[in-house]
């Protein structure tokens, strides 16, 4: 279902201006930042009008990007050719309640078979969409629902490695106050190809965005705790188990009225550089935690992803879908 002409006009009108009130889209703190962007790089708005855009994922075969609107329980699709259209509804909650705050899907990824895997807030599970990407339907097969017979909180973000192991975070953001919280921690988990669910980390207060280094030996986590707004790296052994970890960057002090947002979603460039949402927009961070600069979106920014050629970084920033061109 495509948006009606009035809605499309609204989106086109908004795309003419960035939510960033400044003319500058980049804050450069280190010369290495300039290896990714030209001096006049500008973030552009592709679509707007969403409640809270999240989970951007590029679909290579469709040459399109899909992303979630968590409060609206929908997934949208954007392409250069067709603009914005509805991809899937419902996306994360399949029941009849209409009073849930964040019922929809959050993080999205494709498995090795090209099937869509979703973090579903409302159902409090990680699941696979059964239908084809070309004809999506709200039919799902659970992948992870509980740990030691206790229901998960609300799976948030996820990443596969080349062995088919799935890593995901489980903070409580998708839970409503009246939902029963059964776990007394916020976990980071791994699901092996045989379906076994393994708890890797239970020491983070709000694990959120997740990514892997190009050699898949390092797991990165963004912690969206306003008191401890940090990024972590964890060393993985050949089995995908955590064998060590450390905090690589603390950005708690960067929070301000001008620089909205917390560490949330992240993606890892083929160079190993992190592009991680945080105060101000998307922070560009070296693998060892050096803050190289920030893509200033002017909004609290939820997540980001590249297209396969890494020509563009796509960003979901509050009610906006945005992108910026890379060298």
33-87: pLDDT as tens digits = 999 998 789 999 999 999 999 999 999 999 999 999 999 999 999 999 999 999 9
Q: How far is CA 107 from CA 26, 91, 245, in A?
A: 26, 11, 23
User: Structural domain of residue 247, as residue ranges?
Assistant: 5-325
**Residue that has been written with the tokens 């596969």 in this structure:** 160
13 three-state secondary structure: helix
Residue 54 counted as an annotated binding residue: yes
Average pLDDT over residues 20-35: 85
Q: Phi first, then psi: what are they for 132, rounded to 5°?
A: -75, 150
- The Cα–Cα gap between 280 and 269 comes to 20
pLDDT digits (tens, 9 = 90+) for 87-128: 999 999 999 998 999 999 999 999 999 999 999 999 999 999
What's the CATH code of the domain at 110? 2.120.10.30
Residue 20 counted as an annotated binding residue: no
Q: 318 catalytic, yes or no? A: no
pLDDT at 269 over 90: yes
Q: How far is CA 327 from CA 38, 199, 292, in A?
A: 7, 39, 16
Q: 264, 288, 307, 318: which is the annotated catalytic residue?
A: 264
In this structure, is the dihedral angle defined by the CA atoms of residues 205, 210, 213 and 219, taken in order, positive or negative? positive
Of 220, 227, 302, 290, the C-alpha closest to 261 is 302
Give the pLDDT confidence score for residue 211 in this predicted structure: 98
Q: How many CB atoms lie within 10 A of CB 204?
A: 24
Give the pLDDT confidence score for residue 15 in this predicted structure: 41
Residue 318 counted as an annotated binding residue: no
Report the number of distinct structural domains present in the chain: 1
Residue 208 counted as an annotated binding residue: yes
């Amino acid at each position: 279902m495509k948006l009606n002409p009035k809605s499309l006009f609204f989106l086109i009108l908004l795309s003419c201006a960035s939510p960033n009130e400044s003319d500058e889209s980049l804050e450069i703190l280190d010369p290495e930042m300039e290896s990714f962007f030209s001096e006049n790089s500008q973030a552009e708005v592709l679509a707007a009008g969403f409640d809270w855009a999240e989970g951007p994922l590029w679909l290579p075969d469709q040459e399109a990007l899909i992303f979630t609107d968590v409060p609206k329980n929908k997934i949208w699709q954007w392409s250069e050719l067709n603009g914005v259209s509805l991809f899937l509804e419902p996306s994360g909650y399949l029941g009849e309640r209409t009073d849930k705050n964040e019922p929809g899907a959050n993080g999205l990824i494709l498995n090795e078979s090209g099937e869509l895997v979703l973090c579903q807030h409302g159902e409090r599970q990680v699941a696979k969409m059964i239908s084809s990407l070309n004809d999506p339907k709200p039919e799902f097969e659970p992948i992870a629902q509980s740990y030691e017979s206790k229901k998960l909180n609300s799976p948030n973000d996820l990443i596969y490695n080349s062995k088919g192991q799935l890593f995901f975070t489980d903070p409580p953001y998708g839970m409503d106050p009246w939902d029963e919280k059964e776990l007394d921690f916020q976990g980071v988990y791994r699901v092996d190809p045989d379906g076994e669910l393994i708890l890797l980390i239970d020491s983070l207060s709000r694990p959120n965005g997740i990514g892997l280094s190009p050699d898949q030996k390092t797991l990165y986590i963004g912690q969206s705790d306003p008191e401890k707004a940090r990024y972590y790296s964890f060393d993985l052994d050949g089995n995908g188990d955590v064998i060590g970890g450390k905090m690589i960057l603390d950005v708690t002090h960067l929070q301000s009225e001008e620089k909205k947002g917390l560490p949330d979603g992240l993606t890892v460039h083929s160079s190993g550089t992190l592009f991680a949402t945080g105060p101000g927009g998307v922070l560009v961070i070296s693998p060892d935690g050096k803050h190289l600069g920030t893509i200033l979106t002017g909004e609290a920014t939820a997540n980001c992803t590249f297209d396969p050629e890494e020509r563009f970084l796509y960003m979901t920033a509050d009610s906006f879908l945005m992108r910026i061109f890379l060298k």
